[in-house]
Chain A
Amino acid sequence: MSRLDTLFADYRARALRYPMTRANRLVDPEIALADGVYLGLSANK
């Protein structure tokens, strides 16, 4: 598994541990990749 996919797996595990019970219109960027790409992830109700 690449380092990026390992990072993504860690974020998924964290999202399941700390899911959102609120609607999330603008997801705070949790992952800042190179060249101005920002990713956010949550498990939402």
Chain B
Amino acid sequence: MNGSPVWLASISRRSRLTGKTLATSLWTPPLLAASIALLRRLVGPAGDKTRERVFRMNVTVCLHRALSQDDISQLPPHFFTDPPIDLAGGPVEILEETEVGLLTTRPCHDPVRVPLDPRNPLLWFPGDCRRCGPCQARLALAIERLEGAHAEAIST
């Protein structure tokens, strides 16, 4: 979150009628509120509660909370030396946040709808369009990381 490592908590739900994944766009406001409360209960006292973002994908609703210094002190050393392996794509919708995130955290303006279930048009993964601001920011960051990894590989 703006450079800080985060707790990532996610929740998905299945329809009681069909037993299949219930798309987040169908969650009622009370169900959404209860789900977000459960995510906060899962993260509990950990992290910095003043630095949170709640967003949804089509399968999950997610919470990011910045790690506290106490959390960070418990992380293994490799967490700080290992490079990030890839970059999370954009969410479908940001529901709430305590601080405005980097452009890379914003939803794509016109996402490619990658089907997750061909029988359910509500279940799709938001592929980056690569044209809008957030997508351009994610692409630039991915290129920067690739170039860094390449430079490190050829120097060793």
Q: Chain A interface (Cβ within 8 Å of chain B)?
A: 4-5, 8-9, 11-12, 15-17, 19-27, 29, 31, 35-45
User: CB-nearest residue of chain A relative to B7?
Assistant: A43
The interface size of chain B toward A, counting residues with CB under 8 Å, comes to 41
Q: A19-B79, A26-B60, A27-B60 are in contact. Are A40 and B16 (CB under 8 A)?
A: no
Q: A24-B8, A44-B6 are in contact. Are A36 and B83 (CB under 8 A)?
A: no
Q: Chain B interface (Cβ within 8 Å of chain A)?
A: 5-16, 19, 22, 38-39, 41-44, 46, 57, 59-60, 62, 67, 71, 74-76, 78-79, 82-89, 125
Q: A19-B75, A40-B9 are in contact. Are A26 and B59 (CB under 8 A)?
A: yes
CB pairs A–B below 8 angstroms (5 shown): A25-B88, A25-B125, A37-B12, A39-B9, A43-B6
CA distance A24 to B89 in the complex (A): 9
